[in-house]
Chain A
Amino acid sequence: MSVPGAPSPQLARFAVSPARRRRDRIARGAILTATVVALVPLVLIVYYLLRKGLGSWSGSFFTTNPTGNTFFKSASIGGIKSAILGTVEIVALASAISIPVGIGVAVWLVEYGRDSRLASTVRFFVDVLTGVPSIVFGLFIYIVLIVGTGSTYAGYKGALALSLLMLPVVIRSAEVILLLIPAALRESALALGAPRWRVIFSIVLPTALPGMLTGVLLAIARAAGETAPLLFTAGATLKTNFNLGQFTNSLPVQIYSDVTSPTTAVVNRAWGAALTLVAMILLLNLIARLVSRRSRLA
């Protein structure tokens, strides 16, 4: 710390030497520079998404299906209606599967399994699931539901692949929140004579709900952006489909197939679809953050 005015000769012996001060300043400058560099891609991505994406947004962009006409300039290439609806359907089904199962496993880990050997095995396998590349989940579902049954792609198979992907995120975040519930809360309910299941359903889960919602929303946001597991489970198609037993389009798969197109209009559609997807995911993230701020537990 610098002393105002000229330091006394005694204190000057302890002053930081110019070389050390310079090194400190350089190191701090480098750290600040690296931090700024880390934020540059975010700014650039958002900027380009807005610039390119907003240009292709129009009324019919959201209300028409892709037509598959990409080589004739006069023909309309269509919008992304089927992709948006398909993503919503697939992710909704994936959430309907993975959220109850995930929270159930988390409740088991915290309330029943605790530190038992089985519980640590389950925790280990959940950690394994977290590290599995998303495309391998696609392969799993392909082996079991497509090779195994001799059928073809379908929306619900894509949803199952996504639910496998969401499962570890839901389990982990729910487990952490459940661990934060004060033991006194459970104990007072038990002491009043409530059976275990009542304690779980009337005390533990309601208390943990806002906190768990954050993890759930983050899991949904993660699943919504995944392409790889959908490629050979849900397939790609043009038409809007409300039957998840058939090929179902989705935003990431639509973007992926548009990226490789040589036609400019189709690439622009990819930008528009990307902006839509990022906006949806950011919205989920925003809600997750607001919810976690309001939760008393986390």
Chain B
Amino acid sequence: MPAGDRSVLERSPIARLPDRALRYGLTALALLILALIVYFFVRLVGEARPAFAKAGVFGFVFNNDWNVSAERFGALPLVVGTLITSGLALLIGVPVAVATAIYATELCPLRLRAPLTVLVELLAAVPSVVYGLWGIFFLAPKLQPAEQWLADRLSFIPFVGGGTVTIPNYFITGLILAIMILPIVSAISREVMSTVPSDHKEAALGLGATRWEMIRMAVLPYCRSGIVGGAMLGLGRAIGETIAVTILIGDAPQLGSHLFGQGYSLAAVIANEFGEAQGLHRSALFAAGLVLFVLTLLVNGVARALVLRAARTGGSQRSRKGQPGGLGPRVAETAAGA
């Protein structure tokens, strides 16, 4: 007989203990993650403070003067290097990635679809340092004559052409980054394209549209924000990419005179100089890390909002749960995240 006013079906307080322990234990774990991130951020700001105090936040980011021996730290060459290379990566990588996604979802014979997807995702399995190794010893020397030709033809555009092409340069870095972001942009585009209702596509075809017209009028407008979001996630990756960039960008702490010249990036400067940095120099590198962190945070925030919105418009057509192959862009990103 139960003691007190406990009902027959109720568990004894001791039997309920493991339940409570699990519940609070897991909640504590989740809270720990929040606390950890906030703690890291606060500490990073703290370590970066001396560098910001010397030049001011604005001065640190926009002064074109990175001189370690003179202890002057203006990160403009690094910021510009990061933006140029990741911008190039988007410019080259996104059209190719979207094209592969279109091919895989709309044009490809059904039997080739799975192998094609796996092959593109294998690009994500190659480690960054291997891309750097391959880029510097194979791609860069092989492409140098072509780059020189391009630089000569484009010499009328300031900052783009003219001058001699060095083996490590902005352009080749952007090209490697384009290859590196291809799998993630492609995976998200594919995922968003698979949410286009077949009614829309069939309606376009039924009205006499060719395949391409169907893609242009029914598929692409429907997926626009999802594709842009995928591209932004790719941009976030490209901005934060470190080792391949360090190997390929040339590690010259000045603003490159043109697109085919050597430069530096925020991530590369940390990887390269942190080992022997002391005092203010180290603080400046922490500040560079903070700028990088904030930059990727902004880009990823915008990207995620766009991808989620795209998933929601697509999600009204089909339920999220229990739809194999339609798990949504978050999974696509995880799969391509390696």
A interface residue numbers (CB < 8 A to B):
14, 16, 20-21, 23-24, 27-28, 30-32, 34-35, 37-39, 41-42, 44-45, 48-49, 101, 104-105, 107-109, 111-113, 118-119, 121-122, 125-136, 139-140, 142-144, 147, 167, 169, 172-173, 176, 179-180, 195-197, 200, 215, 218, 221-222, 224-228, 231-232, 252, 255-256, 259-260, 267, 270-271, 274, 277-278, 281-282, 285, 289, 298
Range, interface on chain B: 35 or more
B30 contacts A122, C-beta separation under 8 Å: yes
How far does the alpha carbon of A21 sit from the alpha carbon of B208 in the complex, in Å?
Answer: 12
Which residues of A sit under 8 angstroms from B208, Cβ to Cβ?
A: 14, 16
Interface of B is mostly: helix
Known: A221-B338, A256-B129. 4 other contacts (CB 8 A): A20-B210, A38-B186, A132-B240, A173-B334
How far does the alpha carbon of A42 sit from the alpha carbon of B16 in the complex, in Å?
Answer: 55
B129 contacts A255, C-beta separation under 8 Å: yes
B267 contacts A38, C-beta separation under 8 Å: no
A136 contacts B19, C-beta separation under 8 Å: no
Which residues of B sit under 8 angstroms from A121, Cβ to Cβ?
A: 34
How far does the alpha carbon of A274 sit from the alpha carbon of B300 in the complex, in Å?
Answer: 30
Query: Does any Cβ of A come within 8 Å of B310's Cβ?
Result: no
Which residues of A sit under 8 angstroms from B107, Cβ to Cβ?
A: 28, 31-32
Query: Does any Cβ of A come within 8 Å of B309's Cβ?
Result: no
How far does the alpha carbon of A28 sit from the alpha carbon of B102 in the complex, in Å?
Answer: 10
B293 contacts A278, C-beta separation under 8 Å: no
CB distance from B234 to the nearest CB of A (A): 11
A108 contacts B138, C-beta separation under 8 Å: no
**A/B interface sample: 23 pairs, CB < 8 A:** A16-B208, A20-B213, A24-B211, A28-B107, A30-B99, A45-B130, A122-B34, A125-B37, A136-B44, A167-B33, A176-B330, A180-B321, A197-B22, A221-B338, A226-B127, A228-B243, A255-B129, A259-B129, A274-B130, A274-B133, A277-B130, A281-B338, A285-B125
Residue among A111, A196, A282 with max Cβ neighbours from chain B (10 Å)? A196
B241 contacts A133, C-beta separation under 8 Å: yes
Contacting residues of chain B (94-140) with chain A, CB-CB under 8 angstroms: 95-97, 99-100, 102-104, 107, 116, 118-120, 122-123, 125-134, 136-139
Residue among B18, B126, B139, B216 with max Cβ neighbours from chain A (10 Å)? B126
CB distance from A3 to the nearest CB of B (A): 13
- Known: A167-B33, A256-B243. Is A41-B128 also a contact (CB below 8 A)? no
Residue among A24, A112, A136, A167 with max Cβ neighbours from chain B (10 Å)? A136
CB distance from A52 to the nearest CB of B (A): 8
In-complex Cβ contact of A133 among B102, B247, B292 (8 A): B292
Residue among B21, B179, B216, B239 with max Cβ neighbours from chain A (10 Å)? B179
How far does the alpha carbon of A118 sit from the alpha carbon of B25 in the complex, in Å?
Answer: 15
Which residues of B sit under 8 angstroms from A180, Cβ to Cβ?
A: 321-322
Closest to B335 in A: A218
A133 contacts B327, C-beta separation under 8 Å: no
Which residues of B sit under 8 angstroms from A226, Cβ to Cβ?
A: 127-128
Which residues of B sit under 8 angstroms from A16, Cβ to Cβ?
A: 208, 210
Which residues of A sit under 8 angstroms from B243, Cβ to Cβ?
A: 227-228, 252, 256
How far does the alpha carbon of A42 sit from the alpha carbon of B118 in the complex, in Å?
Answer: 12
B15 contacts A195, C-beta separation under 8 Å: yes
In-complex Cβ contact of A126 among B33, B100, B233, B328 (8 A): B33
Which residues of A sit under 8 angstroms from B300, Cβ to Cβ?
A: 127-128, 130-131
Query: Does any Cβ of A come within 8 Å of B26's Cβ?
Result: yes
- Known: A34-B99, A147-B47. Is A113-B30 also a contact (CB below 8 A)? yes
CB distance from A293 to the nearest CB of B (A): 10
How far does the alpha carbon of A169 sit from the alpha carbon of B213 in the complex, in Å?
Answer: 38
Closest to B244 in A: A227
Query: Does any Cβ of A come within 8 Å of B54's Cβ?
Result: no
Interface of A is mostly: helix
A227 contacts B210, C-beta separation under 8 Å: no
In-complex Cβ contact of B120 among A38, A127, A282 (8 A): A38
Closest to B120 in A: A38
How far does the alpha carbon of A184 sit from the alpha carbon of B321 in the complex, in Å?
Answer: 14
How far does the alpha carbon of A119 sit from the alpha carbon of B137 in the complex, in Å?
Answer: 47
B34 contacts A38, C-beta separation under 8 Å: no
B97 contacts A38, C-beta separation under 8 Å: yes
Residue among A101, A176, A282 with max Cβ neighbours from chain B (10 Å)? A176
A105 contacts B30, C-beta separation under 8 Å: yes
B27 contacts A281, C-beta separation under 8 Å: no
Query: Does any Cβ of A come within 8 Å of B297's Cβ?
Result: yes
How far does the alpha carbon of A132 sit from the alpha carbon of B290 in the complex, in Å?
Answer: 11
Closest to A111 in B: B26
Please tell me which stretch of B66-74, B144-152, B270-278 contacts chain A, meaning at least 4 of its Cβ atoms lie within 8 angstroms of it: B270-278
How far does the alpha carbon of A274 sit from the alpha carbon of B241 in the complex, in Å?
Answer: 18
B125 contacts A274, C-beta separation under 8 Å: no
CB distance from A216 to the nearest CB of B (A): 11
In-complex Cβ contact of A105 among B11, B33, B212 (8 A): B33
Query: Does any Cβ of A come within 8 Å of B65's Cβ?
Result: no
Query: Does any Cβ of A come within 8 Å of B174's Cβ?
Result: no
Which residues of B sit under 8 angstroms from A274, Cβ to Cβ?
A: 127, 129-130, 133
In-complex Cβ contact of A136 among B120, B211, B236, B289 (8 A): B289
B236 contacts A131, C-beta separation under 8 Å: yes
